[in-house]
Structure 1
Amino acid sequence: MTATRSARARRSFDGSAVAVATSVMNVATYGFTIVAARVIGPSEYGAFAACLSFLLVVQVGALGLQATAARRIALDRGHVAAIEKAILTLTARVSLVVGLVMLALVPLINRLLNLDDFVTATIVALTVVPLTLAGGQAGVLQGERRWRALAVFYVAGGIPRLVIGTALILWRPDATTALLGVGIGFLFPVAVGAWFLRHRRTPERVPGEHSARAMLLESAHNAQVLLAFFALSSADIVMARHVLTEHDAGLYAAGLIMTKVMLFLPQFIVVIAFPDMATPENRRRALRLSLLAVAGLGLLAVVAARVLSGVAMVFVGGAEFGEVEDLLWVFAVLGTVLAMLQLQVYAVLARQGRRTVLLVWAALAAAVVLGLRTDSVIALVAVVATVDAVLLVALTLLSLRSTPVAPASPEHAPLPT
């Protein structure tokens, strides 16, 4: 009994460490976003926000690798060393290939984001390399439930960006320098991940189901699912750059700070719940409790954004963006819906669902078609929030109606914590 209580206390402490670490990472990340909005101004900030949204979309390769590593390690504790070796090797190769492809696409990136600056587009391309490397490392730590190491990893993903990025934009206040700070910041979690994974066990045997090809195929599937979600969550800022004036696009980008805060505030819930959602016997309970937790956090934030909108404006750019103040609660609603959608998408990855993603792609198409017909900040955010809410209801109904999967065998039980 004492050992059980001790194990529960340890899990609770480790889970709290991840919660604190992701909070620190997100506060630091968005702290830099807030500083950038104030220092570089609406026009430059619009370009910077578009670049960040693009990175959010292309990081699906990294997240696909992370989900593959975490799911397989959580399910198969007998071959952890083999999975770790295979996923880290695969991650290094994918990072190199993705980096070269992104460099070749610099002209397209420049045009898509309406940057008129090949240097900025090149920085975007190069930043994808450490971003992808970090994905595989995080997946190994997550699957093995090494929560304390993962906590340090996440802190390293936020604090350096805030410190280095702020120093750079104070020296040269423009979108290019702000993005350079982001790129340099991504090097730090890679270094931390390499340190924690420096002592690898030599696998005795590599089963066929954990071959590089099998993992690449699963990662590709995961990536396209996440691509659909992140494209859906980021398409509006790109649309804003095309359907709104430069000033209004900057206002919309400022409002999206609130949305992104709400999207990533409950990120620790997804991180901790994912290994349990990958194990059949824990899947439904983990998803149900996680959805309730995210919804609760979101409700509190929406009320706060409505009642304390003046205080919230301090965190989304200040008086210069004052025209968006009355809409902050709407952006908070959008962020809450997106956070719950993100959890549902990871539940799909955990059970390796193959058809549900079609609904996400359909929602993206609807959002783009309807969004390109808008001509104001309120109209665009209303369209996107409505489409996302309909998708959330559909995915939730499908999750509730899904057929329970038989419990995993002891050989594929979750790793002990």
Structure 2
Amino acid sequence: MTSLTRRLARLAARGAAPIAVAVAVQSAGNLAFHSAVGRLLDPGEYGALGAVLSAMVMLTVPLGALQTAASALVAEHGLTWETARRTLRAVALWSLPPAVLVLLCAPLLQDYFHLSSLAETAQLAPYLLAAAVVSAARGLLLGDRRVGTVANTYFVSTAVRLALGLALMVPFGISGALAATVASEVAALLVALPRLRGTAGRTSTTSLRLGAVAHAGIAVTGLFLFSTADLLLARHHLGDAASGSYVAAATIAKTVLALPAGIMAAVFPRLLAAWPTPGRTRALLSGGAAVTGPAVLGAAAVIALPSLVLLVLYGDKYPDADGLVRALCGVAALTSFVTVLTHAALARRSRLIAVPWIGAVLEIALIETWHGSGAQIAAASAAALVPTLLAMLLLEGRRWVRATPPAETDVPEAPASADASRPAATAA
């Protein structure tokens, strides 16, 4: 076995495999869901649904920081039912004001996304509340090494979304599909709660602090905005048919990032442990290969056969989206490198976690300037990616390779307590 192979085997043995499998199943379910609704809805309706689903994920991406913070809390202090109860209650209270704000802004969102019903945007509020509590519950379980239960929450959530979504979409259209997405989060929480209650016999008690969430929230929110702003702006600027094509191509491309995001759950704590040691360079290289490898391979497979992928998923509705699929998959593959380097900056609590925010601002500015077609929006997204990736490589990468460790130095193992799978992974 090579050194890299041994490290990847360790990651699998310490919890990466169940999460990676669960995220892979969820990604497949996500594609199946989009394939089904994309065939049943006309391109304009599908473009609207895709935009709202992406907005749902964008609202909850900062809550991915809750998952990481809750996981670290339990890894350090242990898990009790009182700790779980306090954490979930605090998260629900923190999420209530943003949910109310989203509800009040529902008419504005309806107008921005050109939606036919207020119910389609109003459902963002309960989704935000449910997804926040689920993220915290998953983090608590991950900190207690209960990766199997966390994987089950993804399996159940995917099954509920598929079954209920298809059942409700026929009578209720877009609103039914969105209601199923909300219900899938509730189902995941029902799977997690019994295992959290099973810790009632333990005695130590602690609670999650809002300040512990803020730093991780900056990183994951910037990454998601950087990788998804193009889809939201495409719905606003393009016509119904063109926005449907862009959503279809972007959904395929974002799926390329789903499995690497799951693997990042096991890589991130290793980066945390490795940063103060001489083995940090090898930790970054091996962890980076584990995360970016699947993204590059997945993108290459789709780029080679874009027409076949579109035909299998959407039939013949989007025959002219081949170029968009190729371009956006290439962008997604390179974005995985930005993801690794941003988590490396997060591991050493560096201000460089703000670089994806700068990239997102650049991307939005370029798209607002050139948005006459889907191809122009994709090109603007790629143009913003290049300087962002170069900046992270030059500024963050050199921090990790400045002192090359001796050949015999190994990286200490760390508990697989952090999880990054919700931001990005389950796009739409």
1:253 — aligned with what? 247
Q: Contact between 1:40 and 1:169, CA under 8 Å: does it hold in 2?
A: no
1:87 — aligned with what? 87
Q: Contact between 1:165 and 1:181, CA under 8 Å: does it hold in 2?
A: yes
Q: Which amino acid counterpart does residue 358 of structure 2 have in structure 1? A: A
Q: Residue 216 of structure 1: CA displacement?
A: 0.3
Number of matched pairs: 397
1:34 — aligned with what? 35
2:184 — aligned with what? 185
1:367 — aligned with what? 363
Q: Residue 85 of structure 1: CA displacement?
A: 5.3
270 and 47 in structure 1: CA distance in 2 versus 1, 3 angstrom threshold: same
Query: Could you tell me how far apart the structure 1 residues matched to 2:352 and 2:375 are?
Result: 30
Q: Contact between 1:142 and 1:271, CA under 8 Å: does it hold in 2?
A: no
2:354 pairs with one of 343, 352, 358: 358
Query: Over residues 354-380 of structure 1, what are the superposed CA-to-partner deviations in whole Å (9 max), with x where a residue is unaligned?
Result: x11332221111111111122111121
Query: Over residues 231-258 of structure 1, what are the superposed CA-to-partner deviations in whole Å (9 max), with x where a residue is unaligned?
Result: 2222112211233222111111111011
Q: With structure 2 as the length reference, what TM-score do the two structures score?
A: 0.83
1:408 — aligned with what? none
Q: Contact between 1:277 and 1:284, CA under 8 Å: does it hold in 2?
A: no
Q: Percent identity?
A: 24
Q: Which amino acid counterpart does residue 109 of structure 2 have in structure 1? A: I
Q: Residue 286 of structure 1: CA displacement?
A: 4.1
Q: Residue 10 of structure 1: CA displacement?
A: 10
Q: Which amino acid counterpart does residue 355 of structure 2 have in structure 1? A: L
Query: Could you tell me how far apart the structure 1 residues matched to 2:414 and 2:13 are?
Result: 17
Deviates more, 1:193-202 or 1:129-138: 193-202
2:159 — aligned with what? 159
Backbone CA RMSD of aligned residues:
3.0
96 and 300 in structure 1: CA distance in 2 versus 1, 3 angstrom threshold: same
Q: Residue 316 of structure 1: CA displacement?
A: 4.3
Query: Could you tell me how far apart the structure 1 residues matched to 2:12 and 2:295 are?
Result: 25
Query: Could you tell me how far apart the structure 2 residues matched to 1:63 and 1:110 are?
Result: 26
202 and 61 in structure 1: CA distance in 2 versus 1, 3 angstrom threshold: farther
Deviates more, 1:230-239 or 1:333-342: 333-342
Q: With structure 1 as the length reference, what TM-score do the two structures score?
A: 0.85
343 and 168 in structure 1: CA distance in 2 versus 1, 3 angstrom threshold: farther
145 and 188 in structure 1: CA distance in 2 versus 1, 3 angstrom threshold: same
Q: Residue 203 of structure 1: CA displacement?
A: 6.7
Query: Could you tell me how far apart the structure 2 residues matched to 1:99 and 1:202 are?
Result: 34
Q: Which amino acid counterpart does residue 235 of structure 2 have in structure 1? A: R
Q: Specify which structure has the bigger relative contact order, considering alpha-carbon pairs within 8 angstroms and separated by 6 or more residues.
A: 2
1:376 pairs with one of 352, 355, 373: 373
199 and 37 in structure 1: CA distance in 2 versus 1, 3 angstrom threshold: same
Query: Over residues 125-153 of structure 1, what are the superposed CA-to-partner deviations in whole Å (9 max), with x where a residue is unaligned?
Result: 22111111111011112223322122112
1:321 pairs with one of 313, 318, 323: 318
159 and 347 in structure 1: CA distance in 2 versus 1, 3 angstrom threshold: farther
2:124 — aligned with what? 124
Question: Do residues 306 (structure 1) and 272 (structure 2) align?
Answer: no
363 and 276 in structure 1: CA distance in 2 versus 1, 3 angstrom threshold: same
1:241 — aligned with what? 235
